Amino acid sequence: MTLTRGDLLPNVRCASRTSPRFPLDALGGDHLLMVFLGSTRAAPGRRLLDAVLGRAPDLLDKGLGLCLVTVDPRDRAADALGSVDPRVTVLWDEDRAVFRRFGLETDAPDSGATGHRVLHIGVVVATHGLRFRAFVTADPATDFPDRLSRAIATLPPREVTRPAVRQAPVLQIPEVFDRGLCRRLIAGYESTGGTESGFMRDQDGKTRGVLDPRTKRRRDCMVEDEGLRLEVREALIGRAVPEIAKAFAFEASRIERYLVACYDAADRGFFNAHRDNVSRATAHRRFAMSINLNSGGSEDGQIESDGFAGGALCFPEYGPATFVPAPGDAVVFSCSLLHAAQPVTKGRRFVFLTFFYDEAAARIRQANRHFLDTESTERAGGMPNTIVAATPDAPAAIPGADATLPLHWASVAAGAPSANGPAEAAAR
């Protein structure tokens, strides 16, 4: 199994009972059990099928989706699954493409020159957003029901239908970072302590960094460890970028920076209402992303030992709703939206911050670089724009521009200004 918790399921198409090319993403909306049978004619596949179908009415009534995947053409020819509840999706994976995309077809340990392949049968458990939660192997069969029940119990509670409330047009993405990565990013910050963070403002024809504790109180640390940066890139590529494309019809190809910020209750850390893209040097920014790295609690309640209270993200143009995502969850929004980080009242809030943009915006960034006053930006806690070293798999960097990294659309600028101001371009 190549998927890990939080990964989006591959959006494969496969023949089904209802369509010659059924898209897997049509199953979103319900928590999902994908039952990889292999063949109903083989004893392991039949045992797995019987174990799942015995619970199917209860699972379906509780709102879980069921999908059966078989590779055996005889199952379709003999209509072996014809009596299955019509609410259950059946995929005829006769070329094994679905098994392969899920990492469930591998070389046999002793295949040698024979080319024998092994199918791994079991159940993929996924959330309503089609994010991988667990793989429950069919063997040993004796405790399969208990293991499946434990995996299902890890799924988020099913939400009740409710009227929509007015809020900002933001995208919330669960589990972009796992808890381990959150802890490692915080540890990286703690090793340096961060530096005071300012904001950027256009003055005298230049975009200059400004420090003003009346507007912003925060300390920032750029992530320099390449191992951590690689983990971040892979998480963003696999878990965030596809959701941004789906929600906003925007193909993000670059991120501006890797930054861990800390808002401390000791000085009531906050950032007043601002927009992220209104200075010349930040006009290229398209979408901002904020990922809390530790847990937030209520103002009048208990907080975790390493958590915080206050510090909510809000969008005052769109009403009073506030956002305090769980550790590893992301909030993504247009850089044009007015937003603020409310004061932290207990503990410290750690957050990973970055900006997404595309190739057209990269040309805007390149054209506007001469407006950036590097000296004042560094004083305000930012870094000069630097070049990511070219790799054998990537084209060489254009002097003064970003380099392309060998990870699909993951081009980045390693160090970018970390500053902005009220209703001005913020480097949140």
Give the pLDDT band (50/70/90) at residue 155: very high
Confidence band (pLDDT; 50, 70, 90) for 16? very high
**pLDDT band, residue 92 (cuts 50/70/90):** very high
- For residues 324-338, give the mean pLDDT: 97
Kindly list the structural domains of the chain, giving each domain's residue range(s) and its CATH number in brackets, ordered by start: 13-153 (3.40.30.10), 171-412 (2.60.120.620)
373 — pLDDT class (breaks 50, 70, 90) = confident
At residue 427, the pLDDT reads 39
Which pLDDT belongs to residue 391?
Answer: 30
Q: Is the pLDDT of residue 416 over 60?
A: no
Categorize the per-residue pLDDT at 193 as very low, low, confident or very high, splitting at 50, 70 and 90: confident
* Amino acid identity, position 137: T
Q: How many CB atoms lie within 10 A of CB 79?
A: 9
Flag whether pLDDT at 420 surpasses 50.
Answer: no
The answer to whether 130 touches 27, Cβ cutoff 8 Å, is yes
Mean pLDDT of 177-196: 95
Q: What type of residue is 108?
A: A
Cα–Cα dist 354/288, whole Å: 6
Q: 297-325, pLDDT tens digit by residue?
A: 766 667 787 899 999 999 999 999 999 99
Burial of 259 (0-12, 13-18, 19+ CB in 10 A): buried
Question: Does residue 198 have a pLDDT over 90?
Answer: no
The residue among 292, 37, 12, 290 whose CA lies nearest residue 168 is 290
Per-residue pLDDT tens digits for 382-402: 533 322 222 333 332 222 223
pLDDT on residue 390: 26
Residues 142, 137: Cα–Cα separation, whole Å: 11
What is the chain's mean pLDDT, rounded? 86
Mean pLDDT of the 17-29 span: 95
Per-residue confidence (pLDDT) for residue 80, from 0 to 100 = 87
Q: What is the pLDDT of residue 160?
A: 85
66-89 per-position pLDDT tens digit:
999 999 999 999 888 988 999 999
**Highest mean pLDDT, choosing among 100-109, 354-363, 401-410:** 354-363
pTM of the model: 0.84
Percent of the chain with pLDDT over 70: 85
Output the CA–CA distances (angstroms, integers) from residue 99 to 71, 117, 121, 406, in the order listed: 8, 11, 9, 26
What gap in Å lies between CA 187 and CA 265, rounded to an integer? 19
**What average pLDDT does the segment 113-121 reach?**
79
For residue 201, give the amino acid letter. Answer: R
Residue from 113, 106, 124 nearest 48 by CA: 124
Q: Residue 1: pLDDT band by 50, 70, 90 thresholds?
A: confident
- Please give the structure tokens belonging to residue 60: 């379906």
Compute the radius of gyration of the chain from its Cα atoms: 25
Least trusted range by pLDDT, from 201-215, 282-296, 299-313, 369-383: 369-383
Does position 404 have pLDDT exceeding 70, yes or no? no
What is the sign of the dihedral through the CA atoms of 43, 48, 49 and 55? Answer: positive
Least confident of 80-89, 93-102, 323-332: 80-89
Residue 209 banded pLDDT, cuts 50, 70, 90: confident
Mean pLDDT of 27-47: 95
Q: How far is CA 160 from CA 32, 33, 133, 163, in A?
A: 17, 20, 21, 10
> Beta-carbon neighbour count of residue 85 at 10 Å?
10
Q: Measured between alpha carbons, how far is residue 59 from residues 41, 83, 104, 260, 373 in Å?
A: 24, 17, 24, 42, 60
